[in-house]
Structure 1
Amino acid sequence: MSTKKVQIGIKPTNKPAPAVADAWVESRSSGNKPKPMKRLTIDVPESLHRSIKAQCAMRGTKIADEIRDLLLQKYGQS
């Protein structure tokens, strides 16, 4: 019976991350935190849902984005 040798990668080190990596992580937060969101669930007729979904697909948009825009038009931005 022969034995098969499997080589495992290099051993991890305890070296700290380079300062450049830390600076990058700290600099990428631009202070523009997204607004907290709340979920809104509504029931619509199947035919309306199908129509909305088809039109969003043709425009390449998401239903949630379209509905959010309509609600902002009606009720304004907060």
Structure 2
Amino acid sequence: MNSKKVTIGAKPTAAQPASPDQWVKERAAPERETTKRLTIDIPESLHRAIKSQCAARGTKIADEVRELLLQKYANQ
């Protein structure tokens, strides 16, 4: 039989946020706008073309799509 002992620390006493949303709001940097996730379905061929172009430029798909959306909708 193994006689190895494991100690477990005390339970944290700090108040926990009421909800995950509250936790996110408390941790968000005040100078940055909060973000929302957008999911879209596109044809595989289009995804492949976007991915290869982004790889060639060394950019991320999300950054490119975000830039395109800003160009289209930022001034409205």
Shorter chain as denominator, the TM-score bin is: 0.5 to 0.7
**Percent of pairs with identical residues:** 67
2:58 is matched with which residue?
60
TM-score after normalising by structure 1: 0.55
CA deviation vs aligned residue, 1:58-78 (integer Å, no higher than 9, x gap): 000000000000000000168
TM-score after normalising by structure 2: 0.57
1:48 is matched with which residue?
46
Look at both structures and tell me which one has the larger radius of gyration over its CA atoms: 1
Structure 1 consecutive aligned stretches of length 4 or more whose deviation exceeds 2 Å: 31-34
Task: List runs of 5+ in structure 2 lacking aligned partners.
Answer: 1-28
What CA RMSD, in Å, does the superposition of the two structures yield over aligned residues?
Answer: 2.0
Task: List runs of 5+ in structure 1 lacking aligned partners.
Answer: 1-30
